[in-house]
C-alpha cells in the first residue's frame, strides 16, 4: 500500500507537505505541489479513509437503513435520499433490515463502529427504541422515516397514514361497499396503528359496523405469515364475505390478491381490494390496484436534507422537525361499484 510517506520520500519532502497537497490546506509553492502531485500519480496513491477518519473524527459518509429493499416504496425513497446526499457532497451507504429487529441491530452496530456522520432510518417498529437510544447516546445524528417510535424525540418524516386510510375507506363507501375488511401490518409499527385508526374512524363516520374478525394483523414486509393470512381469508369468506378488503401496504396487497385468486375469487368482480403505497415501475404499465400513494421520493429527499442540516447545526441544534406528507388516492381497477 502506498502511503504519504512513500510519496514524501520519492518527492524529497516531508509527509506533512504531501498531506497539505492532498487536502489543499496551508500554503505550498507551486513547484513542490506539482512535484508531489506527479509522484502521487506515478505511485497510484489512494488516501486511506480509515486513517484519515481516525484523526478527523468524521467520515463524510451517511447511512440509510431501509426495511425492505424489494419494496418500491423504499427503493424510491432511497433514490431521493441519494440525490439529496450527493447534492451536499456526502456519500451514502445503504443497509436493509428486512423488517427484522436483529438485522436492524447489526446495522446499528455498523453505524456505530464505522463512525458514519449520521443515519437516516426507517425503524422496524416501536421495539427499535433501544437502537435509537444507542445512536442518541453515542451522539450519532439521525432522522426517522415513515415510522414514529414512542419514547424518542427526533427529526422525522411521516406519511399521513390516518388520512390516507380514511380516504381509501371513503372511496370504498362511495362505491357502495358496507362491509370492509383490513389486513394490516404489526401494531407495533406506528404507521400500521394509524392506518387502523383511520380505517376505524372512517367506518364509524359512515355508520358502518366493524366486525372484529374482519381485521387481520400480520407484518409488513418480506417475512409475513402467508398461511395465517390464508386461514383468515378462509374464515371470513366462509362467514359471508366482506365486499372489499383494504391492505395496510403494497406487499400485503400482493399477497392478499394472490391468496384470494388461489381461492377462485376474481378481483374486483368477486371482491374489491385497495391498499397503501404504490408499486413503482410497472404500476405504470398496467395500473391495477387502487391505492393511497405516498410521496416516496420526498420521504428520502426531505429526510436527508433534515439530517444534513442537523449535522451542520451540530453546535446549536435547532428544535426537532417533523414533516408530514399527504397520501394521494389513485383510483384504478381493483374496486367494483356495488349494486
Partner DNA sequence: CTGAAAGCGCTAACAC
Partner DNA sequence: GTGTTAGCGCTTTCAG
The option from its own copies, DNA, none interacting with 40 (CB < 5 to 8 A, set by class) reads none
Q: Which class for 26: exposed (0-12), middle (13-18), buried (19 or more C-beta within 10 A)?
A: exposed
For residues 119 and 203, which CB has a smaller minimum distance to its own copies in the complex? 119
Q: Per CB under 7 A, does 112 bind DNA?
A: no
For residues 48 and 235, which CB has a smaller minimum distance to DNA in the complex? 48
Choice from 12, 14, 49, 235 touching its own copies (CB under 8 A): 49
For residues 51 and 324, which CB has a smaller minimum distance to DNA in the complex? 51
Q: Per CB under 8 A, does 95 bind its own copies?
A: yes
The option from its own copies, DNA, none interacting with 70 (CB < 5 to 8 A, set by class) reads its own copies
Q: Per CB under 7 A, does 4 bind DNA?
A: yes
Report yes or no: 142 and 307 within 8 Å, Cβ to Cβ. Answer: yes
CB of 22 to its own copies, least distance (A): 12
Which segment (3-11, 185-193, 283-291, 319-327) binds its own copies by CB under 8 A?
Answer: 283-291
Q: Per CB under 8 A, does 112 bind its own copies?
A: yes
Q: Per CB under 7 A, does 324 bind DNA?
A: no
Q: Per CB under 7 A, does 152 bind DNA?
A: no
For residues 91 and 321, which CB has a smaller minimum distance to its own copies in the complex? 91
Closest listed residue to residue 116, CA positions, set 173, 170, 62, 66: 62
Give the separation between CA 152 and CA 129, rounded to whole angstroms: 7
C-alpha radius of gyration, the chain, whole number: 26
* Beta carbons within 10 angstroms of residue 325's beta carbon: 17
CB of 261 to its own copies, least distance (A): 9
Give the separation between CA 245 and CA 85, rounded to whole angstroms: 39
Cell of 32: 513542490
Q: Per CB under 8 A, does 250 bind its own copies?
A: yes
Residues 6+ apart with CB under 8 A from 207: none
Give the separation between CA 202 and CA 169, rounded to whole angstroms: 6
Phi and psi dihedrals of 248, rounded to 5? -65, -25
Strand partners, 63: 93, 119
Q: Per CB under 8 A, does 276 bind its own copies?
A: no
Give the separation between CA 15 and CA 36, rounded to whole angstroms: 10
**Where on the chain is the footprint of its own copies (CB under 8 A)?**
44, 46-51, 53-54, 59, 61, 69-72, 75-76, 78-79, 82, 86, 91-96, 103, 106, 110, 112-115, 137-138, 250-251, 253-254, 257-258, 279-286, 288-289
Amino acid at each position: 500500500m502506498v502511503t504519504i510517506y512513500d510519496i514524501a520520500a520519492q518527492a524529497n519532502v516531508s509527509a506533512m507537505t504531501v498531506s497539505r497537497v492532498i487536502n489543499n490546506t496551508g500554503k505550498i509553492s507551486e513547484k513542490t505541489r506539482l512535484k508531489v502531485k506527479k509522484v502521487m500519480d506515478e505511485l497510484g496513491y489512494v488516501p486511506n479513509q480509515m486513517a484519515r477518519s481516525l484523526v478527523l473524527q468524521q467520515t463524510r459518509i451517511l447511512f440509510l437503513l431501509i426495511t425492505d429493499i424489494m419494496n418500491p416504496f423504499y427503493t424510491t425513497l432511497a433514490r431521493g435520499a441519494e440525490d439529496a446526499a450527493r447534492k451536499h457532497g456526502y456519500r451514502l451507504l445503504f443497509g436493509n433490515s428486512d423488517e427484522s429487529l436483529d438485522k436492524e441491530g447489526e446495522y446499528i452496530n455498523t453505524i456505530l463502529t464505522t463512525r458514519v456522520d449520521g443515519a437516516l432510518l426507517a425503524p422496524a417498529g416501536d421495539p427499535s427504541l433501544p437502537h435509537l437510544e444507542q445512536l442518541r447516546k453515542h451522539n450519532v445524528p439521525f432522522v426517522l422515516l415513515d415510522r414514529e417510535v414512542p419514547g424518542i424525540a427526533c427529526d422525522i418524516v411521516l406519511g399521513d397514514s390516518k388520512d390516507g386510510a380514511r380516504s381509501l375507506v371513503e372511496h370504498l363507501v362511495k362505491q357502495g361497499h358496507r362491509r370492509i375488511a383490513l389486513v394490516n401490518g404489526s401494531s407495533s409499527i406506528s404507521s400500521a396503528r394509524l392506518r387502523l385508526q383511520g380505517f376505524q374512524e372512517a367506518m364509524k363516520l359512515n355508520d358502518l359496523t366493524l366486525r372484529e374478525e374482519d381485521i387481520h394483523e400480520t407484518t409488513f414486509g418480506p417475512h409475513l405469515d402467508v398461511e395465517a393470512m390464508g386461514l383468515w381469508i378462509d374464515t371470513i369468506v366462509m362467514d359471508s364475505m366482506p365486499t372489499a378488503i383494504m391492505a395496510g401496504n403494497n406487499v400485503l396487497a400482493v399477497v392478499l390478491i394472490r391468496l384470494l385468486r388461489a381461492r377462485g375469487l376474481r378481483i374486483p368482480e368477486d371482491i374489491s381490494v385497495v391498499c397503501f403505497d404504490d408499486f413503482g415501475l410497472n404500476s405504470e404499465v398496467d395500473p391495477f390496484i387502487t391505492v393511497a400513494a405516498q410521496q416516496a421520493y420526498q420521504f428520502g429527499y426531505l429526510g436527508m436534507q433534515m439530517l444534513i442540516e442537523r449535522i451542520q447545526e451540530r453546535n446549536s441544534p435547532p428544535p426537532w422537525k417533523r414533516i408530514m406528507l399527504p397520501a394521494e388516492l389513485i383510483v384504478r381497477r381493483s374496486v367494483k361499484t356495488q349494486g
